[in-house]
A and B are shown apart, each in its own frame.
Chain A
Amino acid sequence: MSAQSDAAASRPGRWQPAVTQDPMLRKHGAQGHGALGQPVSRIDGPLKVQGKARFAAEFPYEGLCYAALAFSTIARGRITALDTTAAEAAPGVVLVMTHRNAPRMKAPSLMMSSPTAAGASDLPVMQNDEIHWNGQPIAVVLAETQEQADHAASLVTADYAVLPATTSFEEAKKTPRQLDNILGQPPVVEIGDAEAALKGAAVQVDQIYRTPRHNHNAIELHAATVAWTGDELRVHDASQLLDLTAGQLADIFGLEADKVRVSSPYVGGGFGGKCLWDHQILACAAARLAGRPVRIMLSREGVFRIVGGRTLTEQRVALGANAEGRLDALIHTGIVAMTTHNSCPEQFTFPARHLYAARTIRLAQEVADMDMLANTFMRAPGESVGTFALECAIDELAEKLGLDPIELRRRIEPDKDPTSGKPFSARHLIDAYDKGAERFGWNRRSATPRRRRDGEWLIGMGCATATYPYHRFPGGAARIRLKADGRVTVSTAVHDMGMGTATAQAQHIAARLGVPLDHVTFEYGDTTLPRGVIAGGSTQTASIGGAVIAATETFVEELLKLAGNDSPLAGLSLAEVETRDGGIGHRDDAARFESYESILRRSGRGELVCEAEAPPPAEMEAFSMHSYGAQFCEVRVSEITGEVRVSRFFGSFDAGRILNAKTATSQFKGGIIMGIGLALTEETNFDPRSGRIVNASLAEYHVPVQMDVPAIEILYTDIPDPQAPMGARGIGEIGITGVGAAVANAVYNATGKRIRDLPITLDKLM
């Protein structure tokens, strides 16, 4: 590649995304990578089990008061009267804040509309008498104890002038709205005339699939402890987007960006839900009004009322194939519910853009505007529900063709990205299928449904493809601090919501700098650190990787300078050296080496500090980059009651290099468990008469419990992606993708019934 020599020549030895590879990929095997990939237990594990890890709602402050919210009970209208007198008179109440006395604040800006925007919606927060959804906060009560605040909040009463609201999806979808983009991608993709090709195809599948609303139910309730000192705002948040939250809060309150400090060292589950919602903004406003620090922790009902969830989808998948099982037409279209004040269109057509080769393609999605709480990202937004529809349809097609569903996928495996035409950076989907099929025992599946039973229980097997895109966010930076004793601290304002970031990154840094794991400290979770990226879209690992690569390059260059002419490294450049054994050495000459400690000592330095920003993600432009997986499921379905039990699950993934076998396996398993919920139990009951969520409680919103989750086995290819930092693509979300379809396909195999409408509750199978 001539581009390579040009670009590389201009910055010798530096990583050039899409042109050169992360130099770490050169080092191979255990020797090169030390702890990388090892099943290291989570660094924060002991703190958590001892109760010493302090979460957002656990920071003590002198004079702290506690917040509780009162929520609207209508979906749209105006508050005509708001009676707070009883609440104000209740014991322990410090103040009641409503739109009448709340500080004036700018409205949040929609996330991704600017580099500092973090708003889940762009509605002003408690600034006027307008109600936009059922459950909108109408008052904040501050009191000396949480119980006093909760009690007083229950005494707030409101009268409303009710306006007509669109709270029925059936109504809303009659006037669909076209979007001009879906997360920056075109909302419509057309290659050839897919409808015509479908009509002419020898074998056709054309079905509607539906998925319901879901709500975020991380174990840690959303919480923040906030305190003002003059014009400085300190926020202890439960967050997966620290820097954006700080920037957005500064904007809302009209502060200089550096006046807001947000930290979030521990988060009890994020999944896309722990972003900026009204409660942090209201807590900051109420704290300012009261002149006292405030702690807000939402009730479980509160999370349902003011933290958005996954929206519902109605999807059409139509596949036309010739007799050999090649696709003549692939159509995936549909509609989701959204609001006019947010932008989160649940990109369910994304998997079909990259998964299968087809002669013609038509992908399109639109939205139905409703008067409801802004919906949001929830683990694999789009891909989780999009793969349900697409992968069920593939299974249906395989059956019509008389082909094994894995064999069908083999025949429609593309050699380049089917819609963008870009080369794949790495794609080992069929490999994942083959290995998974063997370990799972796929050959024991009968192609004909209803062939296996155990008493009243029908047994079936299903599989489906998992897929999730690789992304690397630009703008993240990392700082490396080397101490005289050879210990290093790497700092960046990123997040660990329990997935093991701190542990995997410590392993990565140990490997990258060639130091023992116990010499590495990874600092994160605080906006005073170098700017980090968000923890979303399974992007954080690669994004941190990009920043640490850049910081390491600067670090090595600085050390080479410091080493000077009296070093075995004299005269060597970045391109000629590598980090190893606690120092820098010539790539091809084992004898030319000097340790970090020695360089620092000789140069009379107590420490060396370097910071650098990741290079822009050019690899995403040049390549189609995705993780893949093959999900295998065995179910048992009672022929009498229709109850479904997942009896075995096997996930075989191709997600690039795995940095930590233990935390990665947990991520995959967690995604699969959430996928079992999506397949069988989870559904938000949104009452179309009132626009109110009816089952705002964990007793009635059914996440899978222990007995719903079988033993889950995980396998991964561990093949590095040559274009990704460390060779690692993200792993946080792919686990949930394909699970809905794998379960539904297994249910079909067991019972002969196709359920195209999630969740698969027993009444649908009776």
Chain B
Amino acid sequence: MNPFTYERASDAPAAIGLAKGSAAARYLGGGTNLVDLMRETVERPEMLVDVTGLPGGIEPRADGGLRIGAAATNTALAADAHVRTHYPLLARAILAGASAQIRNMATVGGNILQRTRCRYFYDTAAACNKRQPGAGCDARDGFNRYHAILGASPACVATHPSDMCVALAALDATVHLDGPAGPRSIALADLHRLPGDRPDVETELKPGELITAVELPPLSFARRSTYRKVRDRASYAFALVSVAAALDLADDGTVREVRLALGGVAHKPWRASAAEAALKGRPASPESFRAAAEAELAAATGLRDNAFKIELAKRTIVAVLSDLTGDDA
């Protein structure tokens, strides 16, 4: 780990002001990802601005939506009564991630901006375009079981590892930012970028920008919503494929509205818009679910180790949607 200075910010302007002073400053949430990467010398900040003292409240809005301070811990968010009742898929997604100890430390802001788990990214002895633009990508022809099947590029096939973000993408979350040029908002679905030829630029955040809060619109059909994560052991492993879904059924059994997002498949939490479009107005049947899954994954491509994820994603989508149509859903 390289030497760095540490500052603790009391509010957003203070944090932004501190970070502005140093080109190599980073905001520090729980540190569960950033500090690991610093230990591996992948991240070499000169200054850490601790933002865990910034607002972390979880506050219901008048319209039934929710505003979540960026410093809220993953544990607090998953345990929140409002979240459990009105956004059960979000609580489930968070609890499917990491371990209790890590979730106790991890913040909402940090979870959104956590970096890929591609091992070649972590190992400074390997070639990685994300770590060192132009160096090459050892994952393309190497161990790439956890890598992308959608939206990847020749330069990078990494995935975004967050579970929470998959639920946020399905929930149409808005991310509030503040920065040297003032506050602004962006849809979570637009925050992360596909790798293209610049895998080192992972989000639309501008230098020095801070996540201050995440906002969720109300979800009237929360009762039929869930999160399912498929992984290599029963707990404490990143998703091979995960599915966040919410389903609104009309009285005639057709799909009135549907939210579907996938994890473990792309460089960003993957909102499955093609599948959603294919489902609307269709009967809520295994056949329509399969057709929608096929539509979403039509463009998917597999690598040496991960081609199975294409079929796995389809099956998991069908299974999750089928579960949500049941009477006990």
Contacts and interface: CB of A to CB of B under 8 A. Distances in A.
A151 B308 CA distance: 40
B308 A694 contact: no
A680 B233 contact: yes
B232 A699 contact: no
Contacts of A699: 117, 238
B1 A151 contact: yes
A689 interface: yes
B234 A705 contact: yes
Interface string A575-593: 0000000000000000000
B135 interface: no
B308 A707 contact: no
A695 B119 contact: yes
Interface in A745-766: 761-763, 766
A705 B98 CA distance: 12
Given A151-B1, A154-B41, A700-B119, A681 B233 contact: yes
Nearest to A695: B119
Contacts of B142: 687, 689, 694
Contact of B232 (A151, A154, A761): A761
Interface stretch (A97-105, A178-186, A621-629, A640-648): A640-648
Contacts of A690: 125-126
A724 B23 CA distance: 70
B311 A766 contact: yes
A151 B235 CA distance: 33
A325 B2 CA distance: 66
B160 to A, nearest CB: 16
A677 to B, nearest CB: 9
A766 B230 contact: no
A342 interface: no
Given A687-B142, A689-B142, A456 B234 contact: no
Interface in A687-739: 687, 689-690, 692, 694-697, 699-700, 702, 704-708
Contact of A706 (B41, B235, B240, B316): B235
A690 B233 CA distance: 27
A91 B312 contact: no
A762 B232 contact: yes
A641 B309 CA distance: 10
A73 B240 CA distance: 29
Interface string B294-313: 00000000000000100110
B236 interface: yes
A692 B125 contact: yes
B82 interface: no
A700 B117 contact: yes
A147 interface: yes
Interface string B24-64: 00000000000000010100000000000000000000000
Nearest to A299: B39
B230 A641 contact: yes
B182 interface: no
B87 interface: no
A91 B3 CA distance: 10
B123 A702 contact: no
Contacts of A687: 138, 142-143
A702 B120 contact: no
Contacts of B126: 690, 692, 694
A462 B142 CA distance: 34
Contacts of B316: 640-641
Contacts of B311: 766
A685 interface: yes
Contacts of A694: 119-120, 123, 126, 142-143
A699 B238 CA distance: 9
B130 to A, nearest CB: 16
B23 to A, nearest CB: 21
A150 interface: yes
A766 B232 contact: no
B237 interface: yes
A151 B120 contact: no
B319 interface: yes
A724 B316 CA distance: 55
B315 interface: yes
Interface size class of A (residues with CB under 8 A): 35 or more
Interface string B213-251: 000000000000000001011111110100000000000
B277 to A, nearest CB: 24
Nearest to B305: A763
B97 to A, nearest CB: 12
A641 B315 contact: yes
Contact of A708 (B2, B122, B233): B233
Chain B CB count within 10 A is highest, among A151, A694, A708, A766, for: A694
Contact of A641 (B141, B233, B237, B312): B312
A717 B125 CA distance: 52
Interface string A79-122: 00000000000010000000000000000000000000000000
Interface in A616-673: 640-643, 645
Contacts of A762: 230, 232, 240, 312
Interface string A127-153: 000000000000000000001001100
B319 A681 contact: no
Contacts of A73: 125
Interface string A170-204: 00000000000000000000000000000000000
Contacts of B315: 640-641, 766
A571 B106 CA distance: 77
Interface in B273-329: 308, 311-312, 315-316, 318-319
Contacts of B138: 687, 689
Given A73-B125, A641-B315, A641-B316, A707 B235 contact: yes
A695 B143 contact: yes
Contact of A643 (B39, B120, B230): B230
Chain B CB count within 10 A is highest, among A695, A697, A763, for: A763
Given A147-B1, A151-B1, A707 B41 contact: no
A536 B3 CA distance: 43
Contacts of A680: 233
A555 to B, nearest CB: 51
A456 B326 CA distance: 14
A151 B3 CA distance: 8
Nearest to A151: B1
Contacts of B237: 702
A764 to B, nearest CB: 9
Nearest to A763: B308
B1 A150 contact: yes
Contacts of A456: 319
B38 to A, nearest CB: 10
Nearest to A707: B234
A216 B305 CA distance: 24
Contacts of A150: 1, 39
B33 to A, nearest CB: 11
A637 to B, nearest CB: 13
Contact of A681 (B122, B123, B232, B238): B232
Contacts of A708: 233-235
Contacts of B319: 456, 640-641
Contacts of B141: 689
Contacts of A697: 119, 122
A643 B318 CA distance: 16
A680 B234 CA distance: 11
Contacts of B122: 697
8 contacts: A91-B3, A154-B41, A641-B230, A685-B119, A689-B138, A690-B125, A699-B117, A766-B308
Given A147-B1, A687-B142, 9 more contacts: A91-B3, A641-B312, A687-B143, A694-B142, A699-B238, A705-B234, A707-B234, A762-B232, A762-B240
Interface of B: 1-3, 39, 41, 117, 119-120, 122-123, 125-126, 138, 141-143, 230, 232-238, 240, 308, 311-312, 315-316, 318-319
In the A-B complex, the 10 residue pairs with the smallest Cβ-Cβ separation, listed nearest first, are: A707-B234, A73-B125, A763-B308, A707-B235, A685-B143, A641-B230, A640-B319, A708-B234, A694-B119, A705-B236
